[in-house]
Structure formats: structure tokens, C-alpha cells
Amino acid sequence: MLSAWQNIVKDGMRKQPLLDLHDYYDFHRNRQKIIPIICEQIIKGSYQPKAPNIIRSEKKNGICRHLQLPSPDDAVIFQTLVEKISPIIKKSQPSDRAYYSRSHSQPKSEADIDDSFPYEWWELWPKFQQKIYEFSTTFDYVIVTDVANYFDNISFDRLRNVISSYGQFDEELLDFLFFMLESFVWRPDYLPLSGFGLPQVNFDAPRLFGHAFLFEIDRYLKDVTNNNFVRWMDDIDFGSNDVAQAKKILRDLDELLLTRGLRLNMGKTKILSSCQAKKYFLPNENRFLTIITNLIELKIKQGKSIEIEKEKIRKRFKKFLKLSDAGRWNKVYKRYFTISAKTRDNFLERYVPEILINQPDLRDSVFTNYRKFGYSKKRFIQLINFFISEHCMCDITVFSVAKLLVSWNIPLKSKSIIELIQVTHERMIKLPSSASFVASLWILAKYGNESELFSLLCTHQTVWENSSFLARQVAAIIPILRTNINHGYKIKQLLVEIGHIDAIRVMNNLEYLRDNNKLDKDIIMYLSQGNQGIYPLSKFLIVFDILNSQRIESSVRQKLKDQLLKEVISDSIYINKLAKIEI
């Protein structure tokens, strides 16, 4: 379990759609003590999973799916179970043409990618898409389909029977595995478990089981298509030379899925001719982007101008916009955002307001692109106009906007900071929610002051006091609240009285760091690392607390302060706040 945390889960928690303001540093620093206790509780049968923080992710037109954010304790357990079970399951895979995403590493091949969860899939999408497009050159028809509401319709009983058939698993292991999975299923009010619905957690366990549940489908498709198919979790593509044959395969495939309690999605099932496949998969667009990306990278490496290539991209994009938005159109659009950042050409900015409102699956590409470009008044206005609107409704989007705003190096005396603070307060009044509260904490922790944070906590106490996750976010900003002794004491006492263990663990960790007279080397190393040129807010809060602590030797604090200001931190807001600390 220790290796699972160190090698996979620690980084995985930083890739969740909603981040922790303490970076789960309390768990990381105390992992040698916490994990043995977890193991002992599991062995004794007394371990109880923590209630997951369930957030919404908009799919389209306001319709959202639920994602579960695990605690670090539960994430470590899930990953450890997967590492035990995964080798046995993979040996049972009947075909090498079915894939699912792994969360523990950057994708190295098409086997490591799918679009269920956001990360750098676009690096390999052209290769994967070319593999599918080969069907249209070998066969007269390409068939695309997917399983309707796949994760929501998976039966736990059927899933257990399927998993247990793949190898000799201890019953106790399967009992505990499904006990953990069931604890993550969303249950409104106090309704009993329905026995359906694999929770969508951004770690390997649910995706591995969702993948394995369709091995029988892979076996059938391998046989009837001579292995000329690709399954990408619940998306299925295969080639055929005859429409009648394609219909028969689809009919039998649907009936086979029925034995699992599943059905094909009729609305997304298409039998495409060669000509239609080109319009659907857009291979020429992908080929152009791949070739010109390689050329641009070569020219940049050689120090040559890329102005001609930038002009070609702009012209090609205008033609691309006129194409139908069916098929893989959005995937190609995402590649244009990637190449825009690579060339430092902001030609896509004019389209962003409409994208933010109407294209939820492109928002992450916008945020990634804008993070690389950095602050500008135009980009700032686009973001806050969307942030304050009712179109910014799903939890992930609300937080993503806040995270992007915090990542920017907004000039210290810019009027944008005042405007941002006003908009943040307006959103909490107009559109109060847990996500709005977390977003407000992040924004005010960087751009606001102690009194504004304290006012937020008092005004919206009913939002955060009943949530363990939100309470630990409040505990994480205590370093700023301490600048007012009365306010800091009041919030600390309130957190103790409420009694959320996670919040208390964060406060105890902060106290330990403030009491660490000489600062351990591992603490200094942790605080001395940024993230792609951006210093994390979670680390800034810890640094702010340490530099203000009179219990730590002044020479140690001064050395840390000098190192961070000279070598690590470049953000003007952070520099200004740290420079004001007298040591």
C-alpha cells in the first residue's frame, strides 16, 4: 500500500477534477503511520470507507454525470486491490483490440487512452484514429456504436460473477472489493442500493472492471470480424464488406449485451460507407495536424520562423469549422487548441465564449490553452463573464475556472483583481453551491485578504460545516486566518467542535510544520518544487504559515524565503505577500 501511494495514488490525487487545498500533505507526511492502521482495520473487518465527495460533470445541455472523489485512504485501497487483481484479469483478455485508460502514467500507446477522463489523450489520438480508419480502406463499411449508459447499467451481481470467472480469487478479496465499490455508489436520501451502477472514480479500479465486463463481447467480435474491430471501453468500431452482415453482427451483439443487462445505443449506431467514414473520422484533418505539428516542432528546435505554418493553420481551421460537427469533430477541435498553444497563436480566442457556453467537452481544452497563454484582459473578461453566468453550472467547470484564474500571474496592481473578488462574492450569492464555495476559497486565498476569507466562512458556514471535504479546505486556509488572532482562533475552534477528522488532521499537520524548529529536508524539498512554472496555492499556504511561525529559527525561515523568492516563485501576488513577512 505504501508503494501504491508513492508511485501512483499521490500523483493521481493531484489529477482529480477537484483538488485539495492542502495537497493531502497531511496523509503523505504521516503515511508510514496511517497505512498500517488501515491494513489492520481491513484485516479485522472494521474498516469503513469514507463518504466520497460526489461532483457533477456536464456532458451536454446541462445534463451531468456524477463523479466520485475518493479520500486518499480509499484511493490507496482501490489501487492496491487493482494491482492484486489486474494481472489475472488481463490474462483473460481475449483480444488485443480492446482498451481502457490507466490513471497511473502518461499514455505510451493507444492501449492507454480513452476519453472517459481528462488527460493528455490527444498525444496518441491520431495513431488510434488512424487504426480505426484502416477499416474504411480494407472494408466497404465502417460500423460505429457504443453501449448505452454503460457504467450506470452494470449489475454488481453480474459483474462479480464475471470477474470471479477469470481466475482463482479469494472470496474475502472479492467481498471487500465489492464492499468498497458499493460504498461509492450514489444513493439519494436513504434509499437502498439498487445493485446497479459502477461508480465513476478517476482511478484504475472501476475502469478495469468496466473493461473486463465486456470480454465476452471482445471474444464475439474477434471471431465474427477476424479481429478487425476496436473497443475503446464502451465505444465499439468494426469493419464489414456487407450491410446485411453488419446488421447481423449488430443484432447479435445487442442480444449478447442483453445477457449482461445492457443494450447498444441506437442513436449512436451508424453503418458508414467509405465516403461517410472520411467525414466521420476526419482523417485528412488529423493527417494535416500531425504533419504540421511535426514540422513546427522541428522548426522551433532549429530556431526558424513558423509564421508560414501559423498562417496555414488559420486557413485550415476556417475550412474545418464549416465541416459537420458529427463524428470525431470535437476531437480534432481539441487538437487545434493544442497546436494553438504550441505556436503561441491565439487565433481561437474569438470562439471561446461560445465554446464555454455550448461545448462542455471542449472546455478543458480552453482552460489548458489559456493556462499556457497566461493572463490577458480579454481572456480574463471571457472567463469571469462565463463564471458569473448560469451556464457555468457543473462542479468541475466552476472549479476549473477558479483554478485557471489562480494559476495566472495577474499584475499586482491590476484592476482585474478587484473585479475578480467582486465577481467571486456575487457568484456565492447568486449561485451558491459546494463548488462555488471551493472556487471562492481558492480565489480569495490568493487574491483576497484575511477579512474577506473570514467573511466568506461566516456567511456561508452552512455550506461547508456538514462536509468533511469542505471542512478540510477551510482548515487549509488557516495560515491566512492566523494573521488575525481572533478570527484564526474562532475558525479553529469551530472546526474542532464540528469534529471532522480530515479537518483536524490538516490543522494538526499545520501545527507540526510550524513547530518544526529547523524544518526537515523533505519538507524543504516539497516546498521548493513548482508545477510547470506555476507555484501551487496549496504549497504557498504552507510556506506562508511557516514563514510567519516564531517557533522556527529565523535563519531557517530566512533561507527558505530567499530560496523561494529567488529560484522558485515568480508570481507577483505570492512574491508581494511573502516579501511583507518580517523575519
Write the pLDDT tens digit of every residue in 262-319. 999 999 999 999 888 888 888 889 889 989 999 999 999 999 999 999 999 999 999 9
The CA angle 162-164-165, to the nearest 5 degrees, is: 65
- Residue 144: what are its φ and ψ, rounded to 5°? -120, 135
Q: What is the residue-averaged pLDDT of the chain?
A: 91
Q: What is the pLDDT of residues 533-546, one digit of tens each?
A: 899 999 999 999 99
Of the pLDDT bands very low, low, confident and very high (cuts 50, 70, 90), residue 328 is: confident
Dist CA 583 CA 576 (whole Å): 15
Alpha helices, DSSP H, located in 139-273: 156-164, 171-183, 204-212, 215-224, 243-258
Q: Which pLDDT score is estimated for 132?
A: 62
Instruction: Determine the Cα–Cα distance for residues 23 and 32; give it in Å rounded to an integer.
Output: 17
Residue 470 φ then ψ, to 5° = -70, -35
| pLDDT: which is higher, 136 or 46 | 46
In sign, the C-alpha dihedral spanning 70, 71, 76, 77 is: negative
Percent of the chain beyond pLDDT 90?
Answer: 79
Q: What is the pLDDT, as a whole number, of residue 122?
A: 41
Predicted local distance difference test score (pLDDT) of residue 119: 32
Q: What share of the chain is helix, strand, coil (3-state, %, to 5)?
A: 65, 10, 30
Type of residue numbered 537? L
CA distance 125 to 285: 12
* pLDDT of the residue at 109: 39
Of 339, 346, 342, 362, the closest CA to residue 289 belongs to 339
pLDDT value at 568 more than 50: yes
For residue 201, what is the DSSP state? Answer: B
Beta strands 53-60 and 98-99: pairing type? Answer: unpaired
| Backbone angle region of 332, left / alpha / beta, with phi > 0 → left and psi within -120 to 50 → alpha | alpha
Give the cell for residue 504: 483536524
330-352 pLDDT, tens digit per residue, is: 989 999 999 999 999 999 999 99
Higher pLDDT, 364 or 583: 364
| Across 56-65, 187-196, 377-386, least confident range | 187-196
Residue 532: per-residue pLDDT: 77
Helical ranges in 104-165 per DSSP H: 125-138, 156-164
Chain mean position to CA 270: 30
- Which DSSP symbol is given to 549? -
Cell digits of residue 528: 521548493
CB 77 within 8 A of CB 184: no
**pLDDT tens track for 97-140:** 877 766 544 444 333 333 333 333 344 444 555 566 666 667 88
- Rounded to an integer, the average pLDDT of 144-170 is 92
Instruction: State pTM to two decimals.
Output: 0.92
Rounded to a whole number, what is the distance in angstroms from the first to the last CA of the chain? 41
Instruction: Enumerate the β-bridge partners of residue 57.
Output: 65
- Would you tell me the crossing angle of helices 485-498 and 468-476 to the nearest 10 degrees? 160
Of 298, 67, 316, nearest in space to 184 by CA: 67
Task: Indicate whether 41 pLDDT > 60.
Answer: yes
Q: What is the pLDDT of residues 400-454, one digit of tens each?
A: 999 999 999 999 999 999 999 999 999 999 999 999 999 999 999 999 999 999 9
* Rounded average pLDDT over 67-86: 93
Contact status, residue 563 vs residue 578, Cβ threshold 8 Å: no
CA-based max dimension of the chain: 80
- Mean pLDDT throughout 30-59? 94
42, burial (CB in 10 Å: exposed 0-12, middle 13-18, buried 19+): middle
Please tell me whether residue 145 adopts helix, strand or coil conformation: strand
Arithmetic mean of pLDDT, 137-153: 91
Rounded CA separation 212/82 (Å):
12
% of the chain exceeding 70 in pLDDT: 93
Q: What is the pLDDT of residue 213?
A: 95
The set of residues, in sequence order, having a beta carbon less than 8 Å from that of 35 and lying 6+ positions away, is 1, 2, 5, 76
Distance CA 120, CA 123 (A): 6
With H, G, I as helix, E, B as strand and everything else as coil, classify residue 467: coil
pLDDT tens figures, 486-498:
999 999 999 999 9
DSSP secondary structure code for residue 58 in this structure = E
DSSP at 531: B
8 Å CB contact between 162 and 213: yes
Kindly tell me if the per-residue pLDDT of 579 is higher than 80.
yes
